Amino acid sequence: MQVIETNLPGLVVVKPRVFQDERGFFLETYNEDRYREAGIDCGFVQDNHSKSSKGILRGLHYQITKPQDKLVWCLEGEVWDVAVDVRPGSATFGKWYGVTLTAEDKTQLFVPAGFAHGFCVLSDTAQVAYKCSRPYAPNDEGGVLWNDPDLAIDWPITAPTLSKKDAALPPLKNAKLPT
């Protein structure tokens, strides 16, 4: 397993070791001891799985008083995954990082608590899985508008399909931030 630091402290790209031959492949998507040794030690308690069509954008989401660490990867297709530092007082507050996740290369993104997270689908369909360190709490949801001009995220699509909730998210300067 290779762990690649990003320009945002705590946010890392993980390249799991993949064993591939004529039969297919095998990999460990998560091994507590190995991930702990790599600095990812957060006690995951919930797994999520979504399927979306091309042009769908989900995000940018976080929880306010019960922030979650997330380990994200793509099971089918291709997505562009984004994390934004929304930790008040952070030296990288408002900065973002984006990475393409594909079912083919099996790269993962570890998104620490205090980051907003979202992705857009680049392939015809995509399935995304992620582990969370805390259960989802609907009444604790926060978020930031995907195209907030102050963030200037370089999304690879210009007119995504959004949920009504995501379309109504505030810009970062008006968002209720994680505590």
Which of the four CATH numbers 3.30.1360.10, 2.60.120.10, 3.20.20.70, 1.10.40.60 does domain 2-174 have? Answer: 2.60.120.10
Measured CA to CA, the distance from residue 112 to residue 132 in angstroms comes to 10
| β strands within 6-69, DSSP E | 12-15, 18-21, 24-27, 46-53, 57-63
pLDDT in tens, 122-135: 999 999 999 999 99
Alpha-carbon distance 53 to 128, whole Å? 11
Phi (first) and psi of residue 22, to 5 degrees: -65, -20
pTM: 0.95
pLDDT recorded at residue 179: 83
- Give residue-wise pLDDT tens across range 74-102: 999 999 999 999 999 999 999 999 999 99
List the domain boundaries for the chain: 2-174
Q: What per-residue confidence (pLDDT) applies to 177? A: 95
| Residues annotated as catalytic (active site), given as ranges | 61, 130
- pLDDT (tens digit, 9 = 90+) per residue, 22-74? 999 999 999 999 999 999 999 999 999 999 999 999 999 999 999 999 999 99
